[in-house]
Amino acid sequence: MIRIGIIGYGNLGRGVECAIKQNPDMELAAVFTRRDPQTVKVLTPGATVANVADVADWKDKIDVMIICGGSATDLPKQTPEYAKLFNVVDSFDTHARIPEHFANVDAAAKAAGKVALISCGWDPGMFSLNRLYANCILPEGKDYTFWGKGVSQGHSDAIRRIPGVKNGKQYTIPVEAALEAVRSGSNPELTTRQKHTRECFVVLEEGADAAAVENAIKTMPNYFADYDTTVHFISEEELARDHAGIPHGGFVIRTGTTGWNGENKHVIEYSLKLDSNPEFTSSVIAAYARAVAKLSAEGVSGCKTVFDIAPAYLSPLSGEEMRAHLL
Amino acid sequence: MIRIGIIGYGNLGRGVECAIKQNPDMELAAVFTRRDPQTVKVLTPGATVANVADVADWKDKIDVMIICGGSATDLPKQTPEYAKLFNVVDSFDTHARIPEHFANVDAAAKAAGKVALISCGWDPGMFSLNRLYANCILPEGKDYTFWGKGVSQGHSDAIRRIPGVKNGKQYTIPVEAALEAVRSGSNPELTTRQKHTRECFVVLEEGADAAAVENAIKTMPNYFADYDTTVHFISEEELARDHAGIPHGGFVIRTGTTGWNGENKHVIEYSLKLDSNPEFTSSVIAAYARAVAKLSAEGVSGCKTVFDIAPAYLSPLSGEEMRAHLL
């Protein structure tokens, strides 16, 4: 049994808890929270909820700790800190700061003899893996990544900060024509506007000016100005009824050529269509937690990413079973 | 420089030669053939063509030998034999006999201190990897593999053996409605007939009975009887003009659920659209040859499959470069 700990019990932490239930070789050891543990109700009957301040007491009772904090401020501190005590997995997703985060976590994990896996999930994560594999197979080619249809938390937050907006949700939607152009192997150069559209569902505050809100959204630099954006005004009830989910997904496509004169075209495409972004991320994390436990048992230490983990480590099956049934 | 040898110079061997040209850290050391080397012209200027009987002379001049024989009779003998002398990669694709082949190659490679990678390509190969990853991420789900649109060599051969057939080519085509049903997450149970159709382009011999040939094809057990099959009669010129390529591809899809009560659905899809089946297979092999060279340099020995190789080993990039640009 792989004993899993969860630090942070939001959408991601709950997702990890659900994923543990689907993996018979894993068990939830404890959930750690900054809140009063008495106030946190978890789904797993009989599971311990503890204060994160007491996490060191669990040093020998947890095989892999999943750190479910945010990338902006939590993980840069938490992952190096907890890697001194535990094998850890995080989902750090600030692409530009990955090298720095890797270095910090690697130093901590190596000093403690622990294995740390950072930036696990689907992007970074499965999308990264597919970029790497496709680049290695087709050295002469071009990469495309599309996201959606899915909820962007950052863009939804940006809408909600506009005066007159009571609530709102934003979907990022890949442009079908752009996807088709890429799949055709024509290697299009695509602008930001050509790749994705943005669709917003907005609940106005009483008496707010709809036209002004719509204009504020559509002209917002970085977030919306470079996109074709649609704004729908709906009621709070409609928002709750039709837009409560956190779907996401996307497409990683590499097109390339082979042959002595590059005469043959190829398209490699990986896509995800996810009802729940955090639960899928959690499911990837659970599989990699198994890998971390195996690597730690082999005496490995230091920081890893999905690039460093042989696929067989993710599976509960033996090598013989994998070769017989999946190869 | 990784020095690559090629045993067997058919479509696959030529594909490997082309792939080496696209990878600046690789060079073609020699091509080995059962034919008279004087009669074999390779594409690489100045490359050596040698008789396969002399392969042992190259023991210290080749880092990885790519064995481009057939799975039916060549590879079961060749791969264990050459693993005594070289690090090797093959594309053994008789799924049912992989466990036996693995055991034979593993014993030879371990005894010789060499690394052998078997069953490399896209199926087995990249499709297997995607089945494994998707199964680990979504333990509660269902796998679907579709092939095509592509040329099936075995089915084309079967057509050509029919009396009255001068030449022919067969395409395996996935049924779009079946793909859509799978992608919807409805977990359909699909019969053989529902998943793929077969399309045949046939050149008749002078005076042959078209209706009899068509009937012989459509009722052929195992090959065609269980499928909806279309037969087109064309001229030798049309066959040469329109059907000279060896395209292939396919789809690996896993649908599954997450959440405490399995309430959220997810679709993971990997697809390939290939102008040249052998050249794409060769490109996968070249990337894995790099991994084999690295593993050998680390002192690893024995038989491996794509499941056992961490993705980073396939890349010419450093860990820092990969994390900065692909993660």
A240 three-state secondary structure: helix
Residues composing chain A: 327
Query: Residue A187: how many CB atoms within 10 A of its CB?
Result: 14
The tokens 């509660």 sit on which residue?
B140
Is the CB of B269 less than 8 angstroms away from the CB of A270?
yes
| Mean pLDDT (chain A, rounded) | 97
User: What are the per-10-residue average pLDDT scores of chain B (327 residues)?
Assistant: 97 98 98 96 95 98 97 96 98 94 98 98 97 98 97 94 97 97 94 97 97 97 95 98 97 98 98 98 98 98 98 98 95
Number of cross-chain residue pairs from A and B with Cβ atoms under 8 Å apart: 212
Report DSSP letters for A20-89, one per residue.
HHH-TTEEEEEEEESS-GGGPPPSSTT-EEEEGGGGGGGTTT-SEEEE---TTTHHHHHHHHHTTTSEEE
Q: Report whether A285 contacts B282 (CB < 8 A).
A: no
Residue A256 to residue B19: CA distance in whole angstroms: 12
The shortest C-alpha distance from A264 to chain B (Å) reads 5
Q: Does B300 touch chain A (CB under 8 A)?
A: no
Gyration radius (Cα) of chain A, Å = 22
Task: Tell me the pLDDT band of A25, cut-offs 50, 70 and 90.
Answer: very high
Is the CB of B311 less than 8 angstroms away from the CB of A133?
yes
Strand ranges in chain A using DSSP code E only, listed in sequence order: 2-7, 26-33, 48-51, 64-67, 87-90, 115-117, 141-147, 150-151, 165-174, 196-204, 228-233, 248-258, 264-274, 302-304
Closest by Cβ to A137, choosing from B284, B309, B312 = B284
Q: DSSP code of B205? A: P
Q: Does B246 touch chain A (CB under 8 A)?
A: no
The shortest C-alpha distance from A52 to chain B (Å) reads 24
Position A226 scores a pLDDT of 95
Q: What are B49-85's pLDDT values in tens digits?
A: 999 999 999 999 999 999 999 999 999 999 999 999 9
A243-to-A18, A146, A235, B292 alpha-carbon distances in Å: 22, 21, 11, 49
Position A242 scores a pLDDT of 97
Chain B positions touching A15 (Cβ under 8 A) are: 258
Closest by Cβ to A323, choosing from B136, B305, B324 = B305
Closest by Cβ to B99, choosing from A99, A282, A324 = A324
Position A299 scores a pLDDT of 98
Position B215 scores a pLDDT of 97
Q: Report whether B88 contacts B117 (CB < 8 A).
A: yes
Position A70 scores a pLDDT of 93
Which pair of tokens denotes residue B186? 């409805």
Question: Which residues, other chains included, contact B45 with Cβ-Cβ below 8 Å and sequence gap of 6+?
Answer: none
Q: Report whether A93 contacts A71 (CB < 8 A).
A: yes
Query: Residue B320: how many CB atoms within 10 A of its CB?
Result: 11
| Contacts with A, B 151-170, CB within 8 Å | none
Position B7 scores a pLDDT of 98
The shortest C-alpha distance from A194 to chain B (Å) reads 23
pTM of the predicted model as reported, rounded to 2 decimal places: 0.97
Chain A positions touching B272 (Cβ under 8 A) are: 266-269
Residue B217 to residue B19: CA distance in whole angstroms: 37
Q: Does B281 touch chain A (CB under 8 A)?
A: no
SS3 content of chain A, % helix, strand, coil (to 5): 40, 30, 30
Nearest CA in chain A to B13: A259
Closest by Cβ to A132, choosing from B15, B259, B311 = B311
Torsion of the alpha carbons at A175, A181, A187 and A189, rounded to the nearest 10 = -40
Q: Does A270 touch chain B (CB under 8 A)?
A: yes
Q: What are A111-125's pLDDT values in tens digits?
A: 999 999 999 999 999
Closest by Cβ to A132, choosing from B22, B267, B315 = B315
Rounded percentage of chain A residues whose pLDDT exceeds 70: 100
Position A324 scores a pLDDT of 94
The shortest C-alpha distance from B219 to chain A (Å) reads 31
Which pair of tokens denotes residue A123? 């992007």
What is the average pLDDT across A254-260? Answer: 98
Angle between helices B126-137 and A277-297 (to 10 degrees): 100
